[in-house]
Each structure stands twice: as C-alpha cells, then as structure tokens.
Amino acid sequence: MSDVVPNAEPNAEPNPEPNPEPNPVSTEILDGIALVAIANPPVNALSHAVRAGIDAAFADIDSDDSIRAVVIYGCDRTFIAGADIREFGKPPQAPVLPDVINRIEACEKPVVAALHGTALGGGLEVAMGAHYRIALPTARFGLPEVTLGILPGAGGTQRLPRLTGVGVALDLITSGRQVDAEEGLRIGLIDRIASQAGPDDTADLGAAARAAGLAFARELIDTKAAVRRTRDIAPADVASDVFAEYRAKMARKSRGQLAPQNCISAVEGAVNLPFAEGLANERILFQELMNSDQRAALIHAFFAERQVAKVPEIKAASARALTRIGVIGGGTMGAGIAVSALLSGLDVTLIERDAEAVSRAEASVAGILQGSVKRGKLSQDRYEAILSGAFRASSDYAALSDADIVIEAVFESMDVKKDVFTRLDAICKPGAVLATNTSYLDVNQIAAMTSRPEDVIGLHFFSPAHVMRLLEVVVADKTTAEVTATGFALAKRLKKIAVRAGVCDGFIGNRILSHYRKAVDGAVLAGASPFAVDRALVDFGLAMGPFAVSDLAGLDIGWATRKRLAPTRDPRETYAKFADRLCEAGHFGRKTGTGFYIHDAEGPRPNEEVLDHVARDRIEKGISPREISDQEIVDRYMAAMVNEAARVVEEGIALRPLDVDVTLLNGYGYPRWRGGPMHYADTVGLARILADIERFASEDAFLWQPAPLLKRLVAEGKTFADLNAA
Ligand code: 3HC
Ligand code: NAI
C-alpha cells in the first residue's frame, strides 16, 4: 500500500496568507517504511521550506508506531546539494539545519539516506545525521563550505571525523574537494554502493536512489538492525600536534583566509569536546565566518559565476553544433587550446606554417597531454586514442574545410591575422564560426577581412589555455547572437567560464590590466621598488605580483604592445621607461633567465639592475622618490583597477560589474575571497575609492581621471551591486 502526503508544518497555526509556502517534502509509506522525498529544484537546496518539511516529516514518523524504518532521498537530478545559499546573510528562520539533523539522528527507527547526484554541504550533513548511507555508483560527496568562506555548520565538522577519522575529515573540510562513491565507501562515509543504475543520463536517478534506499531499509528491518547514530561514535585519538601542523599548512596554502582556520578549530572540537559541546563550538565558529566580509565575497563570486552566463542577446539564440575544431598556430596558446578541446572530446585539426612548425606543435600537444597522464588526469589508452584519432596537425589550410569552428592563435600582428582570415574565408564551409584569440587587436578589423563578418568572434583564452578557466567571448559589431551563443556553448563544453566582452583595446581584462599596470609603474616612479609592489600585492592576496607576472609572460610581449601603441600615445601620459630599458638590455623575464627577477636554480630573486633603470627614469622625470607604504600600493592598484573597470562597464565593454569580477577572478589571479575588484570597491565604499583617485590625481592628473560612472554612483549613494541587480 502506498500513500503520499505532503507534511504539515509542526504545530502549524492556520495560515492567514493566501499563498502558504508550498511544501517540497513529501512522505510515502510503503510496507512500514517512510520514504521522505525532497523535491526542491534545481538542486534540492535546504531552503526554509525544505527544513520545515523534513522536520514535520520526522515529527509524523516519530509518532507513527506503524513505521519501522525511514528512507530519505532527493527527487530528480540530485540528493540535497546543501544549504540554500540565497538565504545567507539574512536572519535565520527556524527550524535551523543543525536542529533538523539532530532530529533525524534522534529518530528511534533506522534512517537510511539514499544518495545520488551530489550530496554537498548541508546535504551531506543530513546524510551523516542519518543512521545508514547507500549511494548510487555515480554519486559524489563533499563539504564545499570552505569555498564559500564558511564551515560545515550543521554538525559536519563533528560527524565527519567520527565516520572517517580526523585526517580525512581535515582534508575534505579544508579543501572542499568532492569524493566519488568508491572513495566514499573506502573512507567510511557511506555503507554501500547500490548495484543498480549506471551512468545513464536519461535514467531517473532519483527513482533509482529511492529503490536502493527502500531495499536497504527492508534489509535493515529483516535483520532487526539497530539505530546507529554517528554522534555516538568515539572519535579516534590523534597526535597532539596534528592540528597545529594543519593550521600552519593552511596558513601557507590559503593565505589570508579565515574559513580554513575555523574549519580546523571546529574539527579539533570534535576530538576534544563531548558531542553537544563540539556542536556548540562549531556553531560559534560558523557564525563568525557567516558574519565575515570573506563569506560575502565568496558568495558573490559563486553567484556572479552563474549570472555571467545570463546574456540577454543570446537568450533566444541557439548555438551551432560543434564537433570539429580547427586551431591555427601551435605556439603557447594554440597548443593549449587544442589540448583543452581534445580533453573535452572534440576533434582537433591544428595548422602551422611549415613542416617543422607542425612537428613542434605536435610535440607540444603530446607533451601537455603526457603531463595529464602523469598527473593521473588522463589514461594512457585515452592519450593514445586522442593522438591517433582525434588530433592531427598540418601546414595545409585546406584541412580546415569541414571545421565547425576555427580558432586563430597566430602571432599578435594585425597583418598576419588579416592574412589568416582572408584564407579562412576562402576555405571554411558556410556557417563555420571564425574566431580569433587576439589579446588586444580590433576584432572588427579582423572580421572585415572576410565576406562573413557575422560569423567572426573573439575567443580570448588565457595561458595556459588547458588550465585557465576564463574565456572572454568578444562580440564584434556584426557578430550574430547565434555565433555568440556558440562561443558560450564552447566554453561550457571546455568547462570554462565565459564572459561577454565588447571590442576595445584589450577587451575587459587586458584593458583594465594595462591601466593598473600604469598605476603600479607610477608607484615605482614615486618611490616604491617593483619588488615592494609585488610583495604588498601578494600580501593583499594576489597569486603573483604584477612584475613577477610580466616576467612569466615575457617582458617582450608588453614591450611590443607599448611600441604598437606609441604613435597614438597621449603626450600628457607619464610614460615609465624602466621596463623598456630592461628589454633593451636583453632581459625578457623567465625565458631569458633575467627580468625584474633573476630566475635560476636558486629560485627567483630581485634583479638589482632594475633599480638602476628605475633611478634613471626618476632623474629624467625630475621625481624625488619618497616612502610609499604597502597600503598606498594597494590603494593605488585597486583605485586604478576599479576606475578603469567603471569605464569598461559604462561603455558596455562589460555587461555588468559582476562580469568584471568574474574576469579578474578567473584570468588574473585576483583573490577570490575578496570577491573581485567591483565587490571589493563596494565593500570599502565607492566614496573612498573616488577620494583615493582624487588624491593620486594631484601627482598625475592625466592617469587619475575619475570615471563618470564612479562619480555618478557616489553622488547617488549607489553601489556596483545595484547595477548588477538592475
Ligand atoms: N543554494 C541555492 N542555489 C543553488 C545552490 C545552493 N546551495 N546550489 C546551486 N544553486 C543554484 C545555482 O545558483 C543555479 O541557479 P540559476 O540556474 O538560477 O543560475 C542552479 O542552482 C544550478 O546550479 P549550477 O548552475 O551550479 O548547476 P550545476 O549542475 O553546474 O552544479 C552543483 C550543481 C554541483 C550542486 C553546484 O550548483 C554547486 O556546487 N552548488 C553549491 C553547493 C554548495 O556549495 N553547497 C554547500 C552550501 S553551504 C552549506 O550547506 C552550509 C551548511 O554547512 C550549513
Ligand atoms: P606564439 O608565438 O607562442 O605562437 C604563435 C604560433 O603561430 C607560432 O607557432 C607560429 O609558428 C604560428 N603562426 C604564425 N603565423 C602563422 C600562420 N600564418 N599560419 C599558421 N601558423 C602561424 O604566440 P602565443 O603566445 O601562442 O600567442 C598567439 C595569440 O594568442 C596572439 O594573438 C596572442 O596575443 C594571443 N594570446 C596570448 C596569450 C599568452 O599568454 N601568450 C594569452 C592570450 C592570448
């Protein structure tokens, strides 16, 4: 007999509201087993309604003597993917999750969590509050809270160490990494893997999880299995210095971040305190993080990365089918782009200039793929299959005649690019998307070389292209919405984050970079050393300082760009010459062994010669160097970045401030826990950023012209977040 009832709110008063919150939790009773189903699309997040629904379901279950076991499962694509992140920062509404989970754990009848999809965060905590756990073979588990600036705050830091031991718990909680079903079984997180249901995307995995849970519950009843509460497991003893060592390790690995440290303290509480006190300790540490700027920044980053795909012009457009990719140029970028496409199962034809360059490109592609094999990311079989089937290189452009999309990554020269696009126009089939990976050049001019500018787009990858997640999709004047949609679809296929950008010198990221580079050069001319600038910005949270980045990219690249722009440079611009002089002396950075730093076996260290070039530059400009504090370095860097970003938004080069944040976070090493430059500006206050710009303008009025949008927002008392929401 089956009987499905939506659960009532516990002790619910008659609801005067005309539209009461719908209950996403229903209970079906089948042969004395209560099947509690969560249906809160898209990811069954633990919203208030879900928490209240589960609470009410267990109130009914507790009072119904005919029920002998319980199964809790998620409908559709996944078990519960965690707390409802949209509720963060708002006042908590009872029942709160720790109480709901305590109630599940306290149930006097065996409770089985039947897992599929991704059981994450609060979802995994619900599963750990259940007495038994079974999972479909394709299920994955994790506690990603640390990536959102918080910790598992519903008992996860107390129950996981009891199930898996402290070492595994510290690893999973401080990294947020996911484990698959097999690893979950091995570490003691789940009890078994269900035998049914393969990785068939079309199968109803929610129904499969329900069936697996039901079979497990029947077996528990038949064997008269007892209730088995995680809280009753005694945590294993650990060496006394484990936590101190972990703290030191995370201080190095997650520089500046609060959440990993609090995660460790919470797990330590699981070992040193009785369960209830450990839970209370976890709550305090959780609340501290919940109230932090870092949490707000990381949640902003999470939603911005999803919002960025919402581009009005492609809403109604369908992407073109992509199977065969052409890549032109097999240098740094071309080889990386080819590998990225090959690892995503696409077929790649790479074109180089001559037989020798073809062999070099083949070797680079094979080398990068071999690296993936070494790191265990690619099987040897797949490696061989890719090289003998999906990949080929040639010097004959005719090999691109059936490509669905061609991505050009030849030298950064307009003449070379124009020549390539003229040839592509003659060879490619109608409907093929013609893309350029140019860093700065005008995509409209490149498109004009073809008879089909509507099919031309910029796809700006970042180096190394098979690793970096950002893809700027540069929409030229005549690019159709269908082609733009195809750029976004390709990014998704390559597991990259696409950001829409308009055409200008450098698009979103490199344009802003060029501007803040001038500001840091200004800080050096004013008195800071390039090494002090790098150190201050690394302390601020950047992965690398700007001068170290230049060394890595090759100082000749920026030099070439500056030479290209020299004829149009405004005479009012203060032009720092020290970087050009380093290049003139043959220092191109890592590739020549010397640049701003000396790169040798001892590891990078400052190249003191730089200071002579800087001193000469100051003398020529009549600047007496002064003390520049680390704070001033950061203030200059951020004010310049935000100011140019405001112009980029106002001109429509970026759709919204959040598009700038996603670009800087994923392509330029901006610290995620600061949310991106626009979020940072909102956090410190736009008025302060404007005041900084006005302060620095007294030294260089041309560089420090406040962006009109910034002035307007300050005058209206608004924030960049207001523009995101508009
Ligand atoms: N709360 C609210 N909304 C969520 C959400 C959550 N936990 N997780 C995902 N969503 C939303 C997304 O914003 C998106 O909304 P949109 O369609 O309006 O843009 C939609 O669900 C689909 O998400 P994705 O585009 O990310 O879908 P994918 O299939 O690519 O990925 C996922 C699914 C793996 C579940 C991924 O969404 C994810 O990682 N979610 C976050 C999981 C997480 O961090 N959970 C922990 C939350 S904190 C917590 O539980 C605290 C507790 O300890 C107290
Ligand atoms: P690279 O110099 O490493 O490679 C360019 C390759 O193109 C060379 O192998 C060359 O033989 C080949 N080539 C030149 N003309 C050709 C032609 N007519 N037909 C076929 N192949 C030809 O340069 P890199 O760094 O890979 O840059 C390529 C493009 O990507 C440039 O436009 C650059 O601005 C852009 N880019 C570079 C980034 C970087 O970090 N290196 C980042 C993002 C974009």
196 lies in a domain? yes
Domain hosting 14: range is: 4-290
Nearest listed ligand to the Cα of residue 436: 2
If asked whether residues 351 and 274 sit together in one domain, one would say: no
Q: Which of 440, 471, 501 is the last residue of a domain?
A: 501
121 Cα–ligand 1 center, Å: 10
Structure tokens at 366: 């094979």
Share of residues in the chain with pLDDT > 70 (%): 96
- From CA 339, how far away is CA 356, in angstroms rounded? 20
Closest ligand 1 atom to Cα of 77: 29
Whose CA is closest to atom 9 on ligand 2? 331
Q: Is the domain of 135 the same as that of 35?
A: yes
Ligand nearest to the CA of residue 461, numbered in listed order? 2
In terms of Cα–Cα distance, which of 157, 388, 108, 159 is closest to 266?
157
The model scores a pTM over 0.85: yes
Residue 298 lies in a domain: no
Does residue 457 have a pLDDT over 60? yes
Residue 657 in domain? yes
- Give the Cβ contact number of residue 524 at 10 Å: 25
Q: Which atom of ligand 2 is nearest to the CA of 333?
A: 26
Do 515 and 649 sit in the same domain of this protein? yes
- Does residue 193 belong to any structural domain of this protein? yes
Q: Is 276 exposed, middle or buried (0-12, 13-18, 19+ CB in 10 A)?
A: exposed
Residues 492 and 554 in one domain: no
CB 604 within 8 A of CB 598: yes
CATH number of the structural domain spanning residue 438? 3.40.50.720
Cβ density class 142-154: b for 16+ within 10 Å, e for less: bbbbbbbbbbbbb
Residue 314 lies in a domain: no
Query: Are the beta carbons of 409 and 328 closer than 8 angstroms?
Result: yes
Residue to probe by mutation, ligand 1, list 38, 40, 43, 307, most atoms within 8 Å of CB = 43
Residue 703 sits in a domain whose CATH number is 1.10.1040.50
Q: Between helices 293-307 and 677-684, what is the axis angle to 10°?
A: 140
* pLDDT single digits (tens) 407-423: 999 999 999 999 999 99
Query: Closest ligand 1 atom, CA of 303?
Result: 13
Q: Residue 5 — pLDDT band, cuts 50, 70, 90?
A: very low
329 and 215 together in one domain: no
- Domain's final residue, options 480, 501, 522: 501
Whole-number Å distance between alpha carbons of 22 and 45: 14
Give a yes or no: residue 382 inside a domain: yes
Whether residue 168 lies inside any domain: the answer is: yes
CA distances from 6 to 27, 33, 60, 79, 610 (A): 6, 16, 11, 18, 72
**Of 190-199, 331-340, 576-585, where does mean pLDDT reach its minimum?**
190-199
Banded pLDDT at 561 (limits 50, 70, 90): confident
DSSP notation for 602-640 = T--EE-THHHHHHHHHHHHHTPPP----HHHHHHHHHHH
Does residue 181 carry a pLDDT above 90? yes
> Which residues are part of the catalytic machinery?
125, 145
CA of 408 to the centre of ligand 2 (A): 8
* Cβ 152 under 6 angstroms from ligand 1: yes
Ligand 1 and 144: CB distance under 6 A: yes
Proximal ligand: closest to the CA of 301: 1
Predicted confidence band of residue 73 (pLDDT cuts 50, 70, 90): very high
Pairwise CA distance, residues 618 & 625, whole Å: 8
Is pLDDT above 80 for 197?
Answer: no
Ligand nearest to the CA of 298: 1
The predicted pLDDT at position 240 comes to: 79
For the chain, the domain total comes to: 3
- Listed in sequence order, the DSSP H helices in 33-141 are 48-62, 97-106, 122-129
- Contact assessment for residue 702 and residue 639, using Cβ atoms and an 8 Å cutoff: no
Cα–Cα dist 681/319, whole Å? 35
CA of 721 to the centre of ligand 1 (A): 20
Which residue from 317, 307, 318 is spatially nearest to 655, judged by alpha carbons? Answer: 307
Q: What CATH number does the domain containing 35 carry? A: 3.90.226.10
Query: Is the C-beta atom of 331 inside 6 A of ligand 2?
Result: yes
Instruction: Give the phi and the psi of residue 181 in degrees, each rounded to 5.
Output: -60, -40
What is the Å distance from ligand 1's center to 520 Cα? 38
Query: Would you list the DSSP string of 476-519?
Result: -TT--HHHHHHHHHHHHHTT-EEEEEESSTTTTHHHHHHHHHHH
Question: In this structure, are 450 and 516 located in the same domain?
Answer: no
Instruction: Check whether residue 481 and residue 544 sit in a common domain.
Output: no
Ligand 1 centre distance from Cα of residue 137 (Å): 21
Q: Phi, psi (5° rounding) for residue 133? A: -135, 125
Collapse the DSSP code of 30 into the 3-class scheme (helix H, G, I; strand E, B; otherwise coil) and give the result: strand
Model confidence at 17, in pLDDT bands (50, 70, 90)? Answer: low
For ligand 2, the distance from its centroid to the CA atom of residue 438, given in whole angstroms, is 9
**334 within ligand 2 shell (Cβ under 6 A):** yes
Element (H, E) at 338: helix 332-343
- For the Cβ of 437 lying below 6 angstroms from any atom of ligand 2, the answer is yes
* Residue 7: C-alpha distances to residues 11, 47, 468, 591, 620 (Å): 12, 15, 46, 66, 79
Q: Backbone dihedral region of 153: left (phi > 0), alpha (psi from -120 to 50 degrees) or beta?
A: alpha
Calculate the CA 126 to chain-centre distance. 26
Torsion region of 418: left, alpha or beta (phi above 0 gives left; psi -120 to 50 gives alpha): alpha
Same domain, yes or no: 539 and 622: yes
pLDDT value at 79 more than 90? yes
pLDDT tens-digit readout, 233-271: 998 888 879 999 999 999 999 999 999 999 999 999 999
pLDDT of the residue at 9? 39
Residues 470 and 589 both lie in one domain: no
What is the length of the chain? 726
Q: What is the DSSP string of 184-242?
A: HHHTTS-SEE-SS--S-TTS-HHHHHHHHHHHHHHHHHHTTPPP--GGGSPPPP--TTH
What tens digit of pLDDT does each residue of 367-377 get? 999 999 999 99
Å from CA of 447 to ligand 1 middle? 39
Spatial contact of 70 and 25, defined as CB atoms under 8 Å apart: no
Alpha-carbon gap, residue 692 to 681, rounded angstroms = 12
Shared domain check, 583 and 480: no
> Of the residues 46, 77, 80, 85, which should be mutated to test ligand 1's pocket, given the most ligand atoms within 8 Å of the CB?
85
- Closest ligand to residue 399's CA: 2
Q: Among residues 307, 360, 300, 298, which one has the least CA distance to residue 334?
A: 360
Q: Is residue 333 in contact with ligand 2, taking CB distance under 6 Å?
A: yes
Secondary structure element (H or E) that encloses residue 685, with its range: none
Expressed in angstroms and rounded, the spacing between residue 480 Cα and the centre of ligand 2 is 26
Assess whether the C-beta atom of 149 lies below 6 angstroms from ligand 1.
no
* Residues 115-161 pLDDT 10s: 999 999 999 999 999 999 999 999 999 999 999 999 999 999 999 99
Q: Which residues have CB under 8 Å from 241's CB, separation 6+?
A: none
Task: State the burial class of residue 233 (Cβ atoms within 10 Å of its Cβ: 0-12, 13-18, 19+).
Answer: middle
d(CA 570, CA 562): 12
Is pLDDT above 90 for 202? Answer: no
Two structure tokens written together for 568: 């149009």
Q: Is the CB of 42 under 6 A from ligand 1?
A: yes
For residue 346, the CA-to-ligand 2 centroid distance in Å is 21
The verdict on the CB of residue 616 being under 6 Å from ligand 1 is no
Alpha-carbon distance values, 632 to 47, 283, 533, 626 (Å): 43, 37, 10, 12
Q: Which of 445, 467, 501 is the last residue of a domain?
A: 501
Cβ distance 596 to 589 under 8 Å? yes
Residue nearest to atom 53 of ligand 1 (CA): 152
Instruction: Tell me the C-alpha distance between 269 and 264, whole Å.
Output: 9
Amino acid, single-letter form, for residue 699: E
Q: Is 148 in the pocket of ligand 1 (CB under 6 A)?
A: yes
523 and 566 assigned to the same domain: yes
SS3 573: coil
Q: What is the CA radius of gyration of the chain?
A: 29
Quick: pLDDT tens for 264-318: 999 999 999 999 999 999 999 999 999 999 999 999 999 999 999 999 999 999 9
pLDDT score of 442? 97
pLDDT at 76 over 60: yes
**Considering the chain, what is the average pLDDT of its residues?**
95
Contact 74 CB / ligand 1 (< 6 Å): no
676 lines ligand 1 (CB under 6 A): no
> 3-class DSSP state for residue 401?
coil
pLDDT above 70: residue 37: yes
Question: CB of 463 closer than 6 A to ligand 2?
Answer: yes
If asked whether residues 535 and 497 sit together in one domain, one would say no
